[in-house]
Structure formats: C-alpha cells, structure tokens
C-alpha cells in the first residue's frame, strides 16, 4: 500500500507539473460509458479544431495550444476530479459537456477565477452575467430550446395549440429537469397540457414511459435525452408507431448515432439545433489537409461532418475566438484564465468573423456583454431523412420567446444570488 502511495505521489507530481509556456485548454471528454456514443464525436471535433489551430496557425496569436484531455464518463465525481487535476495547469476555460458536472463546477470555477463555457447546456440562468460572473452559455440554452420547440409546434398548428397534449420525455437528472419550468410557463401562455415522463440514468429502460405515451397519445413528444437514452427512445417510438414528425428532440437528442439504430423507422424525426449542419465549409478542407491527412485526427477520425462533431468544432471555435479577443484586450499573447474570462465577456461573433474562419453562416451572430452571457437564443428545427441518411434544416433560425424566458432567468438567478450572497456585478 505504501509503495503504491509513493508511486501515486510521483505519478501525480508528473501530471501536476505545469507547462506554462503554452495556452492550456482542457477537454473534459467521455469516450467510455453509456454516453460515449455522443461524447466521442463532440470530443473529436473539439480536439481537431485545436489541432488545426496548432498545425495551421501555430496556435493562437503565436502561442501554441496545449490540450489536456481528461475522461469523465459523464460522471460528476470523475468530472470534479478532472477539474481539480487540471486546474493547476492554468486551464483557460472549462467545457464539461455535462449539466451535472456544470452544477458542481459553477461555484468552484467562480472561486478559482476560471471561466466556464456551457454551450447549450448547464444552468440556464447562468445567462445572467450579473450573478454568474464566470459562467457563459452562449449562444443558446435549454429554455431557448424549450421555447423554440413550442414555437415550432405553434407554427405547424397555425398558432393555436390550446388543448393539445404535449409530453416531455426527459433524463431524470438536472439536465432533463431544466426545461420543465419553462414548458410549464409556456403551457399557461399557450394553453397546452404538459405530461412529464422521467427516464432514469442511463436510459435503457423506457418501456413503461412509451406504454404511457401509447395509451395517452399525446399530440407531440419532446425529448431531453442524452447518450444511449436517445436511441432507445427513438426505437421505442418507432415500436409504438408514434408519428415521428411529432417527436422533437432537443439539440442533444439529434445526432446520427441516435437515429441510425432505428433504421427506416426514424425517418421524419425532428430535433433542434443552434448551429448549421454538414461538412460543406471551407474549414473542412483545412481539417482534411492539416489534421486528417497528417494523421493527427482525434479518436478514430471517422466522425467528421456529423452533428456532434460540428458542435465540438463550434465550441472550440468560440473558445479560440474568445482567446483572441482576450489577447487583443490585454495586449499579450500569454493570457491567464482571468483574461480569458474578459475575452469571453467581450466576445462578438459576426458574419465576417465566421466567414474568415471558414465557417460562413455556421451559427448565429451574437455579442456577449456583462449582463448577457447567453447570446440571443436563436435555433432551428432539423429533420432526419433516413433514406438519404442525413439531417436537413426545415426552418430558418428563429428566436425563442424572450418575453417568457427573461423573467424566468431573472427569477432563478435572483434566487441563486440570494442563496450565495452575490451582489449584482454590472453597472
């Protein structure tokens, strides 16, 4: 035991030795466990973008990027361990890709003065930068997602959904419970009936939930799922012959890996997205040249162009742009996590910027401010075409119902501020 302890000490020392001459980013990824099917493409995209920056541009502003990967298996305990293990190395920003881990890290990262970007997940009220100084969730959050889904249903029904039944199938965790409050609020406004169906981790057991759906026949089913839960739910929906075009998933329930197992039956399944699809972008030529052909692709290198790979790229792109902004603000290439936070708060994504990067029209344009850490909440609906084996956008990008969401965000962040004695930060 003692020998083991000593070896552990030395091993940990080796890990903890900081390499300060670079810009360090972390990838809290999960390539194992029941959520790996979704974790792998995101992690690959995230890493490949940083590899591209290193190989093509020599890093950011002349500073090479050091990407530290840590396996969390979507488990909060491991996520906290990863955070503690890597924060000493000067990691500029954390993107845990897990709402559970996000909740753990919000107070810790704020106390350690390290920013965290939870793109399209995490605590929705972190949009209020007045209360959450170090947490960013641009360009969209769960409540935007809930509102966009309802807006889409409104559009399909010519603006009247009173009396309709809508069921929410959700992962029984902080993640899945996030949209409930918004959906209840929207139910009051639009007069639909909301049924809540919780699915426990990891989500392979959904027979009873879908039996209930078969019995009650809700007009629409929304899903907040992740990992193996997604493909199981879609398969179950196919099994009970639920009309797929009335089944709408959040952006985390809309990847190729989720629909492919259900084969032809999944045709017509809808999901939301806050960024564009496919690989038809100039950036992909560079990725092919500098990353894939150079043999430096992360993982198996077979995920390029998939939905979640694109999302990983997008997350990394926003991090790199924020780092560039921080370098400009502070006039130094060697930025610290605190400077990175300033960069994220001053981040501005414009059409020209995205075109220059090689991702024209890839995501919404937005600018972050002290009060608004969450962007403007634009999203679109996409649909799965099983024959062609690809997703396609069926709507334009449109904004969520800010009139409903803003008071909710103000209320929730005020509760958090009161609980933790946080004073409003912005003037």
- Residues near other proteins, by CB under 8 A: 1, 4-5, 7-8, 11-12, 14-16, 29, 31-32, 36, 40, 69-71, 73, 75-77, 80-81, 84-85, 87-88, 99-100, 103-104, 107-108, 110-112, 123, 172-174, 177-178, 180-181, 198, 200-201, 299, 412, 419-420
Nearer to other proteins, 172 or 279 (CB): 172
Placement of tokens 């993107």 in the chain: 95
Question: Are 109 and 115 within 8 A, CB to CB?
Answer: yes
Detail the DSSP E strand segments found in 266-425. 270-273, 348-349, 366-367, 378-385, 390-393, 398-399
Least distance from other proteins to the Cβ atom of residue 185, Å: 11
Least distance from other proteins to the Cβ atom of residue 398, Å: 25
Least distance from other proteins to the Cβ atom of residue 174, Å: 4
Nearer to other proteins, 227 or 265 (CB): 227
State the Cα–Cα distance between residues 228 and 41, nearest whole angstrom. Answer: 14
Least distance from other proteins to the Cβ atom of residue 228, Å: 15
Least distance from other proteins to the Cβ atom of residue 269, Å: 27
Least distance from other proteins to the Cβ atom of residue 179, Å: 10
Nearer to other proteins, 154 or 414 (CB): 414
Half-sphere exposure (Cβ direction) of 114: Cα atoms closer than 13 Å: 24
Nearer to other proteins, 29 or 235 (CB): 29
Nearer to other proteins, 36 or 316 (CB): 36
Least distance from other proteins to the Cβ atom of residue 74, Å: 9
Nearest CA among 15, 95, 16, 87 for reference residue 50: 95
Nearest CA among 105, 63, 73, 60 for reference residue 86: 105
User: Which tokens is 91 given?
Assistant: 């990691």
* Torsion over CA: 153, 154, 156, 157 (sign): positive
State the Cα–Cα distance between residues 196 and 209, nearest whole angstrom. Answer: 10
Nearer to other proteins, 113 or 239 (CB): 113
Half-sphere exposure (Cβ direction) of 96: Cα atoms closer than 13 Å: 34
Nearer to other proteins, 5 or 388 (CB): 5
Phi, psi of 195 (to 5 degrees): -115, 135
């Amino acid at each position: 035991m003692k020998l083991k302890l000593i070896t552990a000490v030395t091993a940990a020392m080796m890990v903890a030795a900081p390499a300060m001459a670079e810009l360090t980013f972390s990838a809290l990824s999960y390539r194992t466990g029941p959520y790996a099917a979704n974790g792998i493409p995101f992690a690959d995209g995230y890493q490949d973008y940083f590899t591209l920056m290193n190989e093509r541009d020599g890093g950011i502003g002349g500073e090479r990027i050091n990407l530290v990967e840590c396996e969390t298996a979507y488990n909060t305990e491991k996520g906290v361990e990863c955070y503690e293990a890597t924060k000493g190395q000067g990691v500029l920003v954390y993107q845990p890709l897990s709402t559970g881990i996000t909740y753990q890290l919000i107070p810790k990262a704020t106390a350690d003065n390290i920013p965290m970007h939870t793109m399209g997940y995490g605590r929705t009220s972190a949009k209020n930068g007045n209360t959450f100084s170090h947490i960013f969730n641009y360009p969209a959050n769960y409540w935007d997602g809930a509102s966009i889904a309802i807006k889409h249903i409104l559009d399909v029904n010519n603006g009247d959904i009173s009396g309709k039944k809508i069921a929410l199938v959700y992962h029984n965790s902080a993640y899945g419970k996030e949209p409930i409050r918004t959906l209840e609020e929207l139910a009051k406004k639009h007069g639909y009936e909301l049924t809540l169906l919780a699915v426990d981790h990891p989500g392979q057991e959904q027979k009873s939930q879908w039996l209930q759906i078969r019995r009650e026949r809700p007009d629409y089913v929304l899903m907040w799922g992740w990992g193996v839960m997604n493909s199981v739910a879609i398969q179950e929906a196919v099994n009970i012959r639920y009309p797929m075009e009335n089944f709408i998933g959040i952006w985390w329930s809309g990847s190729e890996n989720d629909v492919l197992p259900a084969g032809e039956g999944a045709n017509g399944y809808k999901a939301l997205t806050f960024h564009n699809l496919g690989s038809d972008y100039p950036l992909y030529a560079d990725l092919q040249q500098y990353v894939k052909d150079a043999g430096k692709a992360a993982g198996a290198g077979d995920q390029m162009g998939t939905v979640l790979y694109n999302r990983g790229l997008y997350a990394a792109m926003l991090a790199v742009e924020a780092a560039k902004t921080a370098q400009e603000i502070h006039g130094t290439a060697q930025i610290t996590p605190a400077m990175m936070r300033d960069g994220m708060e001053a981040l501005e994504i414009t059409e020209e910027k995205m075109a220059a990067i090689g991702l024209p029209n890839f995501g919404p344009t937005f600018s972050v401010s002290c009060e608004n850490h969450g962007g403007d909440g634009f999203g679109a609906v996409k649909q799965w075409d099983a024959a062609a084996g690809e997703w396609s956008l069926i709507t334009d990008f449109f904004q969520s119902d800010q009139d409903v969401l803003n008071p909710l965000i103000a209320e929730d962040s005020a509760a958090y501020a009161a609980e933790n004695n946080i004073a409003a930060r912005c003037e």
